[in-house]
Amino acid sequence: MKWHSDNRWSTMASPLGEIRISASRIGLTAIWFPDQRHLPDPAALRHWRIDDAHPMLSEAKRQLSAYFSGERITFDLPLDLSTGTVFQQSVWNSLLTIPTGCSQSYRQVAMHIERPKAVRAVGGAVGHNPISIVVPCHRVLGTDGSLTGYSGGLDRKTALLRLEGLLP
């Protein structure tokens, strides 16, 4: 992934643990848990400045807090998906079309982006989604409906799906 060197970032507490959020001048570039797989590159992070007052980061925190408290089910935030390849961006944009309370399989996402034979590549792109929760990779399940990988951990994926009413 290619990260912007001028990103700003901040942290917030959530029911799922600490969340870190970063933004470029264009939009959010990442939302991640410090212990997840596929973190932003440490070399890039060294150049990012902590900015707790950054308007885009403050708004992301506000909307995430409302989401976790059940007051909000969608997000209205500018996104900067340019860290990914064209293929990854197509997958991440497809994830944005999965409504709250619904899920899709990796195969369905592959069909949606008109790459039906790219199911494994779709899985890789979903796993490398840099903007967790807002770009809802947690809504992608196995073909049989099973909970499969989530870079933030299956416990968090389960909690997010419960919060959205997809799981009891």
Tell me the catalytic residues. 137
Q: Which residues, in sequence order, are bridge partners of residue 8?
A: 23, 49
| Amino acid in the structure at residue 23 | A
Six-digit token string for 157? 């994926």
- Cβ atoms within 10 A of the Cβ of 39, count? 15
How far CA 107 is from CA of 68, 85, 110, in Å, comes to: 29, 20, 5
Angle CA 90–96–101, to nearest 5: 140
Q: Which helix (H) or strand (E) element contains residue 50?
A: strand 49-50
Q: State CA 13 to chain mean position distance.
A: 16
How far CA 134 is from CA of 60, 115, 165, in Å, comes to: 9, 23, 16
Radius of gyration of the chain (CA): 15
